[in-house]
Amino acid sequence: MSVRDVIHPGGSAIGLWCTIPSPAAAELVARSGPDYVVVDQQHGAVSPGELLAMTQAIHGAGRPALVRVGSHDPWVIGHALDLGADGVIVPLVDSAAEAAAIVSACRYQPAGRRSWGRVRGTSEEEPLVLAMIETRAGLEAVGEIVATEGLDGVYIGPSDLSLGLGAHPTPRIEHAVVLDAIATIRAAAEGAGVVCGLHCLSGEDAARFAPEGFSMVTAGADGGLLRAALAAALATARGAG
């Protein structure tokens, strides 16, 4: 299944996030029914070898595999793609120049600076390239960022965006200044005809935002969801006793 069949302007994909460095866990996440799965190398504990196995497991379950890379470094971006990612989500993009640089890191010469050398994957489709808007600078430059040639869209990180706007990150997206910023980013992406994604920590928040016109909404990460499910099971068991 092509990643662009799932994630595209005007779509409404619901996905999940993997932070646990395990192909078995990634397969469980992928088989639970999301439209896409993102492996987190920025804040997750995922090594290159584990990433290779995790993308294989996600693809084996019939789902597109994206990677949130750890930096703008072209080698980091290219390596994630070489290990099987269908696309990358790049954190902390503050300007159109930075957006153009990450697009270049995803494209082979002469269009970009990606080096040839894939370990797995044979698709000739260009990888999906998403820039994270999660700072005040990124918010202020969002009009120029979404107009970047070759950029497929933007992905909102509300926790860091909260910090950048003087608020404290919360489990539910609730600060008025952050909600206003999210609406501004979504409108800019819609006007440019590109993807707009939103990161949520729970299915409840994902259900709240999904009808608002986002191309993709993440409904949480494996670690947090597992912890919540285990705590709920223990609370039920102890209450029953």
Active-site positions read 43
Residue appearing with tokens 């969002």: 142
Sign of CA dihedral 81, 132, 191, 108: negative
Work out whether strand 195-199 and strand 153-156 pair parallel, antiparallel, or are unpaired: parallel
Residue 140 CB burial class (10 angstroms; 0-12, 13-18, ≥19)? middle
- Nearest alpha-carbon partner for 80 in 93, 70, 92, 95: 70
Buried b (16+ CB within 10 A) or exposed e, 97-136: ebbbbbbbbbeeeeebebeeeeeebeeeebbbbbbbbbbe
Ranges assigned E (strand) in the chain:
13-18, 36-40, 65-68, 87-90, 128-133, 153-156, 195-199, 216-221
Pairing state of beta strands 13-18 and 153-156?
A: unpaired
* First-to-final CA distance of the chain: 47
In whole angstroms, give the CA distance from residue 92 to residue 76. 15
